[in-house]
């Protein structure tokens, strides 16, 4: 354990995997998290920001979704010394743990540079290319400044301006969680044909049924989506980040969209914590025959940025591909596949 700032109390901002990793290599006096005051995190006391002395050192470890908002909160504490995580990475490269998303991206870009170049060339508009460049800068440096133009806007996610909705939509919500995305869809598009909501967690599905109880033509399917019918281990404790995992304590049923839905699909949304490729393979026939528009999460793994469009365009090459981003951190990058006929 190294004391980087001798004579000064040192605090990490945010209870997350980055503060956990950092606390294992440098001496830390506590964690700042205004929403978890009085608890313990990785053996350290969690404090309110207002409890911190001005002469303290504070390190911002928030990189997931609200990094800039976290920095603004730290600035309000008027502490003597403030670092972003990226500052320490730059100053002590041999000591500070590299975040997984950053290491993943650096490695993938090194070994698959041709795939990333192909991705850039496949994007349909200049905005997508700017988003890609900004995300690469952030995912290879952890510098919050790379995402200075982005805010936390989950209400726009999956329904960007490139998506045109009609009264004939058959919407497939893969990873339906508690019904939040379907609720957004029905609010934006009150007249629709049908919604299929796939959610393998019984608890989440119960919440979705309650949330959407006033709506018609919602099919609730207590299954996960994949490229085959099977049983799988599932970690249901992750909330909206619940995922298939070898160490999961729960068993879920997996199914193929192609086997489950018999009518024409017009819009597919997927945010499956890294399972998107398998789910897309299980919807291959619908993609081929129905040519639905799609909003697919690509942020879980660096290779998803290029492998998912490679997969989709390998099934049908008549899509325009757009990339958008909805947070101040590494999560919630969504790739849209819009049939070229919709763009004229």
| Domains of the chain and CATH, by start | 10-97 (3.40.50.720), 113-343 (3.40.50.150)
Strand pairing class (333-339; 44-47): unpaired
Q: How confident is the model at residue 166 (pLDDT cuts 50, 70, 90)?
A: very high
Which position has the higher pLDDT, 250 or 190? 190
- Tens of pLDDT, residue by residue over 305-327, are 999 999 999 999 999 999 999 99
Asked if pLDDT for residue 203 goes beyond 50, the answer is yes
- Tens of pLDDT, residue by residue over 78-94, are 898 999 999 999 999 99
Asked if pLDDT for residue 297 goes beyond 50, the answer is yes
Q: Is the pTM of this model over 0.85?
A: yes
> For residue 231, what pLDDT is reported?
82
> Alpha-carbon distance 83 to 92, whole Å?
12
Asked if pLDDT for residue 290 goes beyond 90, the answer is yes
Q: How confident is the model at residue 240 (pLDDT cuts 50, 70, 90)?
A: very low
How confident is the model over 246-268, as a mean pLDDT? 88
């Amino acid at each position: 354990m190294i004391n980087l700032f001798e004579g000064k109390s040192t605090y990490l901002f945010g209870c997350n995997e980055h503060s956990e990793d950092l606390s294992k290599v440098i001496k830390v006096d506590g964690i700042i998290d205004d929403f978890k005051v009085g608890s313990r995190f990785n053996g350290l006391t969690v404090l309110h920001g207002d409890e911190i002395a001005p002469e303290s050192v504070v390190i911002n470890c928030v990189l997931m979704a609200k990094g800039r908002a976290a920095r603004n909160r730290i600035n309000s504490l008027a502490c003597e010394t403030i670092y972003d995580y990226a500052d320490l990475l730059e100053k002590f490269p041999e000591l500070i743990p590299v975040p997984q998303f950053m290491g993943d991206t650096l490695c993938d870009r090194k070994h698959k540079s041709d795939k990333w170049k192909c991705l850039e060339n496949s994007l349909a508009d200049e905005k997508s290319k700017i988003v890609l460049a900004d995300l690469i800068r952030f995912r290879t440096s952890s510098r919050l400044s790379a995402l200075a133009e982005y805010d936390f806007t989950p209400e726009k996610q999956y329904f960007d301006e490139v998506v045109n909705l009609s009264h004939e939509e058959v919407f497939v919500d893969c990873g339906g969680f508690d019904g939040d995305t379907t609720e957004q869809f029905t609010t934006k598009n009150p007249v629709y044909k049908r919604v299929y909501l796939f959610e393998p967690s019984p608890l989440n599905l119960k919440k979705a049924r309650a949330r959407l109880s006033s709506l018609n033509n919602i099919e609730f399917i207590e299954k996960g989506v994949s490229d085959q019918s099977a049983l799988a281990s599932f970690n249901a404790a992750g909330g909206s980040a619940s995922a298939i995992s070898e160490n999961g304590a729960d068993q879920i049923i997996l199914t193929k969209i192609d086997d489950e839905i018999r009518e024409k699909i017009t819009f597919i949304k997927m945010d499956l914590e890294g399972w998107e490729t398998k789910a897309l393979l299980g919807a291959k026939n619908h993609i081929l025959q129905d040519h639905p528009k799609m909003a697919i999460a690509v942020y879980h793994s660096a290779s998803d940025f290029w492998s998912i469009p490679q997969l989709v365009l390998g099934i049908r090459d008549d899509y325009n591909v757009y990339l958008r981003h909805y947070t101040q951190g590494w999560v919630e990058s969504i790739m849209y596949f819009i049939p070229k006929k919709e763009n004229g």
